[in-house]
A and B are shown apart, each in its own frame.
Chain A
């Protein structure tokens, strides 16, 4: 889905439209939410909750919390579907109640995410140090052990703050992979628990007594573990980047609750039935380890590899959630600074790294101080309390907006039984917040102090300084992709240096198609995850210049469109832009050298692999005329396109195209002439342009490299091998691209079959 931002920019005399790159699918956003939820709550929650509420209590804690969280999830879902813009609770409060409440929402969101980040850092430290202690690498007890745990927590937090400062926190498919891995591991543990009971039903006796400390303890543990259901905010924050957000955001919120509740109940069950023969009631034994109780229980359940399984899962879960919370918290404080509700320095971007480093610095301070000085239970309780307050506010917003602005909103989801779910949510969350005082009185000092200080700041500072931004809270109107008329070419320009040559070559394609083409020049503007995409105009200067250069050439030759697209990843932005526009051909430039860990580069490799239209990758194609063009031929799906591109690029008056086949000694050569005879009519090229040439050599790469030196231009088909295979063994076209010093074009014909996963999505 393609949404136009409400601003256009000028480059020279040309008007450039801007848009947000939407490439997060339902699976991505659902997994973002699941990843945030699984980050720590279940690992810390099981041990602590069982200690307080007993074996039955811990199961009920997660199940009942899920039902309450579902009420709030529906509120978030309804609001996100109506206001699908990054900002989450901050935006909802702005629309529902105005600036004052929205400041408090942003202020709470900042703290809640930061404290959740501390919780993930602490979880990482507890389980890592515990595992190293079991291996005998760390031998410490008491205060010394706590000191080591705190040091590790601070170090890992510092590490991710630095990563965020560098602006290299890449999420997306890799994040989905990790979250799927964590969830699958937890489901596996739950499955082992069920199997254990199946073969040894006596283990169900571990549930006796069911509620040893009374039913009132349930409210305490529910409040304490509520942080385990805090993933909706991060899903709402992805509003600018999600495909079809009115449909996918609400679905992702609801699905994420569904996934985690069964996972949590399953692993809590497995932890309880996993313990046997410990000399005391299993629930007391697990509870005696406190926050580490879950890990100890799973070590009993799966003695051979339970330790390492839990350690690896916690490391992945807590670090990915820590990273996400740091940039989520930074984004919240950045937004407050941008709107002058906090001093504008919070919105200041680093001149080189382009990240909001001041906002990140203050976020980092909160994360590190909380992790360093608060006990684990108080960190978890404080995080839970802030999210309870935040969700309380969101439930109020949904009622108010539905009552007052229903007809103005374009809802993609409207909750059933309204207004009962948000009213239940408000009531029960208030009770849980009050009961939390029994778990941590410090949380009841930290939380209210933060909110009261926010009210004071608003009253004395923000109210007078805040810029009027009501008009920015626009519900972006989805613009349908215009109906495709003819052949559509997308030129991706990266910088002013290569823009003109790409435009010049693109124009040759237009002429070859006898002007039955639509051309759009597009520039990807990468924006760090800490900055909302809607604020990305600050990053667009180079793109404006590049588009300006290209349009200077093209605008005198016809009507061409241009767009700057704000994205998190250049490659994903290009792939999704080509798919949205149903492009027939994507034209890109390449600087001519690879990058460590990639074959042709971090942007080119994924584009070549994933884009679904034809691609032409140009290197050093600055000449106006090419008299001799070499086309290496070995059959394959790119052959026709290679010949077509060569016929477009060659000078028809006196030029020639040599189709070159190299066969190893003893192997049959391909029939190049037959291929030319068959293909030339299809691409409307005169047969006389083409010549065939054969070579026999067991050194195909060197032979090709030598032959290519005699030509003005080489047009070669890209490999069809996956990126992983290419990392293991460089294929011939890519090796040639890296070593050939003159002009060449690498082409790849569109894929006919999408992967099963893509089709499913």
Chain B
């Protein structure tokens, strides 16, 4: 029972955090693209990869 509860809470935290992180990350990408800095999809993609590395 306790084990179920702990696993459950971990899964709940991971999934809700995942939703929040992806929401904020996606918003950040959209705003960056529309701020006009990168021109091509290749540049956008490279920027995303560079951000992940740094």
A60 at the interface (CB under 8 A from B): yes
Complex contacts, A211 vs chain B, CB 8 Å: 4, 8
1/0 contact string of A380-422 vs chain B (CB within 8 Å): 0000000000000000000000000011011111111110010
Q: Tell which of A120-128, A251-259, A453-461 binds the partner.
A: A251-259
Of residues B18, B23, B30, which shows the largest number of chain A Cβ atoms within 10 Å of its Cβ? B30
A270 at the interface (CB under 8 A from B): no
Q: Bound state CA distance, A182 and B14, in angstroms? A: 27
A548 at the interface (CB under 8 A from B): no
A265 at the interface (CB under 8 A from B): yes
B5 touches A413 (CB 8 A): no
A59 at the interface (CB under 8 A from B): yes
Of residues A81, A254, A415, which shows the largest number of chain B Cβ atoms within 10 Å of its Cβ? A254
Q: Bound state CA distance, A262 and B16, in angstroms? A: 8
Specify the chain B residue showing the minimal Cβ separation from A54. B4
Known A60-B8, A258-B23, A407-B41: A413·B15 in contact at CB below 8 Å: no
A66 at the interface (CB under 8 A from B): yes
A67 touches B29 (CB 8 A): no
Complex contacts, A442 vs chain B, CB 8 Å: none
Please report the total number of A residues contacting B with Cβ < 8 Å: 41
Q: Bound state CA distance, A204 and B54, in angstroms? A: 43
Of residues B14, B15, B26, which shows the largest number of chain A Cβ atoms within 10 Å of its Cβ? B26
**Which residues of B from 1 to 34 have beta carbons under 8 Å from A?**
1, 4-5, 8, 11-12, 14-16, 18-20, 22-23, 25-27, 29-30, 33-34
Q: Bound state CA distance, A144 and B22, in angstroms? A: 48
1/0 contact string of A407-439 vs chain B (CB within 8 Å): 101111111111001000000000000000000
A261 at the interface (CB under 8 A from B): yes
Complex contacts, B44 vs chain A, CB 8 Å: 411, 414
B53 at the interface (CB under 8 A from A): no
Q: Which one of B5, B15, B29 contacts A66 once the chains associate, using CB atoms below 8 Å? A: B15
- Shortest distance between the CB of A461 and any CB in chain B (Å): 37
Q: Bound state CA distance, A739 and B14, in angstroms? A: 66
Complex contacts, A246 vs chain B, CB 8 Å: 34
Complex contacts, A251 vs chain B, CB 8 Å: 26-27, 30
- Shortest distance between the CB of A322 and any CB in chain B (Å): 27
Q: Bound state CA distance, A254 and B20, in angstroms? A: 10
A413 touches B19 (CB 8 A): no
- Shortest distance between the CB of B1 and any CB in chain A (Å): 6
Q: Bound state CA distance, A612 and B5, in angstroms? A: 56
Complex contacts, B5 vs chain A, CB 8 Å: 56, 207, 210
Q: Bound state CA distance, A258 and B18, in angstroms? A: 10
- Shortest distance between the CB of B48 and any CB in chain A (Å): 6
A70 touches B30 (CB 8 A): no
Q: Bound state CA distance, A414 and B12, in angstroms? A: 27
Q: Which one of B12, B40, B41, B52 contacts A59 once the chains associate, using CB atoms below 8 Å? A: B12
Q: Bound state CA distance, A749 and B12, in angstroms? A: 55
Known A247-B30, A414-B45: A56·B8 in contact at CB below 8 Å: yes
A209 at the interface (CB under 8 A from B): yes
Q: Bound state CA distance, A730 and B33, in angstroms? A: 49
Q: Bound state CA distance, A265 and B19, in angstroms? A: 13
Known A59-B12, A211-B8: A416·B52 in contact at CB below 8 Å: yes
**Which residues of B from 33 to 52 have beta carbons under 8 Å from A?**
33-34, 40-42, 44-45, 48, 52
Q: Bound state CA distance, A59 and B7, in angstroms? A: 13
B12 touches A70 (CB 8 A): no
Complex contacts, B12 vs chain A, CB 8 Å: 59-60, 63, 265
Known A246-B34, A410-B41: A67·B15 in contact at CB below 8 Å: yes
Q: Which one of A81, A254, A409 contacts B27 once the chains associate, using CB atoms below 8 Å? A: A254
B15 touches A416 (CB 8 A): no
**Which residues of A from 38 to 80 have beta carbons under 8 Å from B?**
56, 59-60, 63-64, 66-67, 70, 74, 77
Q: Bound state CA distance, A578 and B30, in angstroms? A: 27
A208 at the interface (CB under 8 A from B): yes
**Which residues of A from 256 to 272 have beta carbons under 8 Å from B?**
257-258, 261-262, 265
A250 at the interface (CB under 8 A from B): yes
Q: Which one of A208, A210, A414 contacts B29 once the chains associate, using CB atoms below 8 Å? A: A414
Specify the chain A residue showing the minimal Cβ separation from B33. A412
Known A60-B12, A209-B4: A258·B19 in contact at CB below 8 Å: yes
Known A60-B8, A210-B5, A246-B34: A416·B25 in contact at CB below 8 Å: yes
A257 touches B19 (CB 8 A): yes
Q: Bound state CA distance, A81 and B41, in angstroms? A: 12
Complex contacts, B23 vs chain A, CB 8 Å: 70, 254-255, 257-258
Specify the chain A residue showing the minimal Cβ separation from B17. A67
B8 touches A261 (CB 8 A): no
A407 touches B29 (CB 8 A): no
Complex contacts, B4 vs chain A, CB 8 Å: 56, 209-211, 215
- Shortest distance between the CB of B24 and any CB in chain A (Å): 9
- Shortest distance between the CB of B38 and any CB in chain A (Å): 10
B1 touches A209 (CB 8 A): yes
Q: Bound state CA distance, A208 and B16, in angstroms? A: 22
Complex contacts, A406 vs chain B, CB 8 Å: 41-42, 45
- Shortest distance between the CB of A62 and any CB in chain B (Å): 9
- Shortest distance between the CB of A557 and any CB in chain B (Å): 41
B41 touches A250 (CB 8 A): no
**Which residues of A from 367 to 389 have beta carbons under 8 Å from B?**
none
Complex contacts, B11 vs chain A, CB 8 Å: 60, 63-64
Specify the chain A residue showing the minimal Cβ separation from B25. A416
Specify the chain B residue showing the minimal Cβ separation from A62. B15
- Shortest distance between the CB of B25 and any CB in chain A (Å): 5
Complex contacts, B40 vs chain A, CB 8 Å: 407
Q: Bound state CA distance, A211 and B30, in angstroms? A: 39
A254 touches B8 (CB 8 A): no
- Shortest distance between the CB of A191 and any CB in chain B (Å): 17
B8 touches A414 (CB 8 A): no
Specify the chain A residue showing the minimal Cβ separation from B11. A60
- Shortest distance between the CB of A185 and any CB in chain B (Å): 22
Q: Bound state CA distance, A658 and B3, in angstroms? A: 88
A411 touches B15 (CB 8 A): no
Please name the 10 residue pairs, one residue from A and one from B, whose CB atoms are nearest each other, closest first. Answer: A63-B15, A67-B15, A210-B4, A258-B23, A56-B8, A67-B18, A211-B4, A254-B26, A210-B5, A411-B41
Question: Could you list 13 examples of A-B contacts with CB < 8 Å?
Answer: A56-B5, A59-B12, A208-B1, A210-B8, A247-B34, A251-B30, A258-B20, A258-B23, A406-B41, A409-B41, A411-B33, A416-B29, A416-B48
Given A63-B15, A209-B1, A406-B41, list of 13 further CB < 8 A pairs? A60-B8, A67-B14, A70-B18, A247-B34, A250-B26, A409-B41, A413-B30, A414-B29, A414-B33, A414-B45, A414-B48, A416-B26, A416-B52
Binding site for B on A (CB under 8 A): 56, 59-60, 63-64, 66-67, 70, 74, 77, 81, 207-211, 215, 246-247, 250-251, 254-255, 257-258, 261-262, 265, 406-407, 409-418, 421
